[in-house]
Amino acid sequence: MSTKPIHIIGGGLAGSEAAWQVASAGVPVILHEMRGVRGTDAHKTDGLAELVCSNSFRSDDAETNAVGLLHAEMRLAGSLIMSAGDANQVPAGGALAVDRDGFSNAVTARLEAHPLISIVREEITGLPPEDWDQTIIATGPLTAPSLAEAIAASTGADALAFFDAIAPIIHFDSIDMNVCWFQSRYDKVGPGGTGKDYINCPMDKEQYDAFVQALLDGQKTEFKEWEGTPYFDGCLPIEVMAERGRETLRHGPMKPMGLTNAHNPTVKAYAVVQLRQDNALGTLYNMVGFQTKLKHGEQVNVLRMIPGLENAEFARLGGLHRNTYLNSPTLLDPTLQLTSRPGLRFAGQITGCEGYVESAAIGLLAGRFAAAQRLGHQISTPPVTTAFGALLNHITGGHIVSNDEPGKRSFQPMNVNFGLFPVMEAPKVEGKRLRGKEKTVAKKKAMTARALVDCRAWLGLAPAAQAAE
């Protein structure tokens, strides 16, 4: 008896990888890609897995860089995107950069040549019909409007965002807690809270004035033409608020009311910046109400003016651009399946990851999960200690959904980074505790070594030493 096909909508980074993984498991695939019939605002060709902007897959260092680790895990899992990337590499120091046409042509050729894959050039304008019992939607940040509307209609009002107003996210261990303190405004406990859910950074008048001036003076990125989405008031960038008046921020996200500086209780702060826990591990904090379109280099300098954040390390910086993505933690199960419609999975940037490599990695997982389900195998998800698992966990469960600002979604797309992994202490070297940069590097090396061991085990591969024999 022939196996029923799995339908994949969207032949970008995620859809192409998903198709490859499904077919490699011996299951037929029908890949529906609209380019050739209808374009997007950013794609220029009809090739599958077209890179819309930069030609870089970022760092290829699997020992001390989280995206380099994800490359290594994807290679272990037989990734088409990585093998086409490796085959079309161009010189770029420690980064993996590719010849974009050579890369896209290679992906297209390999998918077209696979006997189990059929590619149909058509736009899918609504949710898949019922008889497509297994479907992966991988239509990306620029999902065609009619499909996006159908997804929004079936998942609920707050389920699909159409553009990102991103506030920066900071690694907890880079925040100076001798300056900042934990407290919720008016010590409000709220649902699931403790009354100490926020990190507060105090400012006196002089510091506030200097900060507002820096925002006004800072260089902003301009919206591209295709990004012409208007702001809505709940999402104004901080520099736009600063332009509306010097006191606007102090009456908005930087209001000092209901907060007492634990290090200096008798002095009332003039303004306070609040950070809220962003992941269940407690390793990442987002800056509340601090969406910004200041240029990235500028952002780092301006935000490090905030007391307690002088040495802040950013897991991601703020930005504003068009991006269609789901509120995945509330909608998807741990295998990327829509809980309200089993058999319908999502993959790629539409799930709330960010970046070419991350999108392809989530496509790889969705493809494997769908194929396992079709073949009647138990689905095994990657351990959270791996880059695959850490990213999947961010999308489907690791992010904390804020209860105290009803109507506001707090889940934001993210690149893979070490803040998404369970914490690991730096190993001692010759009985000595390491410090500073040495300690950070040792910690990252220990995390990536753990990840690769766990990834091999998850994939059923022999341990590295044995495999090398």
Ligand X SMILES: Cc1cc2nc3c(=O)[nH]c(=O)nc-3n(C[C@H](O)[C@H](O)[C@H](O)COP(=O)(O)OP(=O)(O)OC[C@H]3O[C@@H](n4cnc5c(N)ncnc54)[C@H](O)[C@@H]3O)c2cc1C
Binds ligand X by CB under 6 A, chosen from 68, 308, 318, 348: 348
Print the binding letters for residues 301-340 with ligand X: x by CB under 6 A, - otherwise: ----------------------------------------
Task: Give the CA distances from residue 282 to residues 148, 169, 333, in Å, rounded to whole numbers and listed in that order.
Answer: 33, 12, 22
Of 131, 127, 110, the closest CA to residue 119 belongs to: 110
Phi, psi at 80, each rounded to 5°? -70, -40
Of 312, 322, 327, give the one whose Cα is nearest residue 419.
312
Query: Measured from the CB atom, is 164 or 298 closer to ligand X?
Result: 164
Up-side HSE of residue 324: CA atoms within 13 Å toward CB?
20
User: What residues from 54 to 113 belong to the interface with ligand X (CB under 6 A)?
Assistant: 54
219 binds ligand X (CB under 6 A): no
Q: Is 367 in the site for ligand X (CB under 6 A)?
A: no
Segment interacting with ligand X, rule: CB under 6 A, options 26-34, 237-245, 277-285, 438-446: 26-34
Check binding of 137 to ligand X (CB under 6 A). no
Report the residue number, 100 or 456, with the smaller CB distance to ligand X. Answer: 100
**Which one of residues 6, 7, 12, 237 is an interface residue with ligand X (CB under 6 A)?**
12
- Would the annotation count 13 as a binding residue? yes
CB of 361 to ligand X, least distance (A): 10
Should residue 160 be labelled a site residue for ligand X when binding is judged by CB under 6 A?
no
30 binds ligand X (CB under 6 A): no
Distance CA 69, CA 382 (A): 14
Q: How far is the CB of 119 from ligand X (least distance, A)?
A: 11
Q: DSSP H helical segments within 144-251, as ranges?
A: 145-155, 205-217, 238-243
**Of 233-292, which residues contact ligand X (CB under 6 A)?**
none
Residue 14 assigned as binding residue: yes
The C-alpha atoms of residue 382 and residue 267 are separated, in whole angstroms, by 49
Q: What is the DSSP string of 360-371?
A: HHHHHHHHHHHH
281, two tokens: 């591990």
What's the min distance (Å) between Cβ of 52 and ligand X? 5
Task: Write down the residue that tokens 């901080």 correspond to.
Answer: 238
**What are the structure tokens assigned to 232, written together?**
């809505």
Q: Per the annotation, does 11 bind a ligand?
A: yes
Q: Which residues of 252-268 are buried (b: 16+ CB within 10 A; e: fewer)?
A: ebbebeebbbeeeeeee
8 Å CB contact between 336 and 134: no
Q: Nearer Cβ to ligand X, position 40 or 183?
A: 40
290 vs 356, beta carbon nearer ligand X:
356
Using Cβ positions, the residue closest to ligand X within the complex turns out to be: 12
Minimum separation from the CB atom of position 114 to ligand X (A): 18
Shortest spacing between CB 63 and ligand X, in angstroms: 21
419 labeled binding residue: no
First and final CA of the chain: distance in angstroms?
40
What are the phi and psi torsion angles at 19 (to 5°)? -60, -45
Residue 391 contacts ligand X per CB under 6 A: no
What DSSP letter does each residue of 241-294 carry, written as one string? HHHT-TTTGGGTTT--TT---TTSTTS--SEEEEEEE-BTTS-EEEETT----B
Spell out, one character per residue from 114 to 133, where the chain touches ligand X: x when CB under 6 A holds, - when not: ---------xx---------
- Only one of the segments 31-39, 73-81, 92-100, 181-189 lies at the binding site for ligand X (rule: CB under 6 A); that segment is 31-39
Decide whether 35 or 316 has the Cβ nearer to ligand X: 35
Give the residues lining the site for ligand X (CB under 6 A).
Answer: 9-15, 32-35, 40, 42-43, 52-54, 123-124, 138-144, 147, 348-350, 354-356, 359
Residues in binding site for FAD = 10-15
